[in-house]
Amino acid sequence: DTEVTQTPKHLVMGMTNKKSLKCEQHMGHRAMYWYKQKAKKPPELMFVYSYEKLSINESVPSRFSPECPNSSLLNLHLHALQPEDSALYLCASSPGLRYEQYFGPGTRLTVT
């Protein structure tokens, strides 16, 4: 089973709202990722967690705050977003860094 789940599927939020995206995997993978994808562009790395510790932050604005409560869960907390943050947010996991990554279905975020 190579399933990564993400909730919610769709999210509409105002610029003053606080919301969270959730990601879960039960494959025993030790690395988890957040990506942002705009239309007709490739995924763009935001954060990497390895063994539940933040390994890479690609200079993401502080209005995005990642959290890894345990080895199966990854959250992305959103606050004071801008309309240009509207995108598909993808979570992925892999057995370890450098190995194949499996993507979840994504959360389609619209900021109004």
Partner 1 sequence: QKEVEQNSGPLSVPEGAIASLNCTYSDRGSQSFFWYRQYSGKSPELIMFIYSNGDKEDGRFTAQLNKASQYVSLLIRDSQPSDSATYLCAVNMEYGNKLVFGAGTILRVKS
Residues that bind partner 1 (CB under 8 A): 2, 33, 41-43, 45, 48, 55-56, 58, 88, 90, 97-106
- Minimum CB–partner distance for residue 37 and partner 1 (Å): 8
- Closer to partner 1 by Cβ: residue 45 or 73: 45
Rounded to an integer, what distance in angstroms lies between the CA atom of residue 104 and that of residue 42? 15
Q: What are the helix and strand counts (H, E) for the chain?
A: 0, 11
Pick 19 or 103: Cβ nearer partner 1 = 103
Residue 50 has which token pair?
Answer: 């390895």
Residue with tokens 């969270």: 20
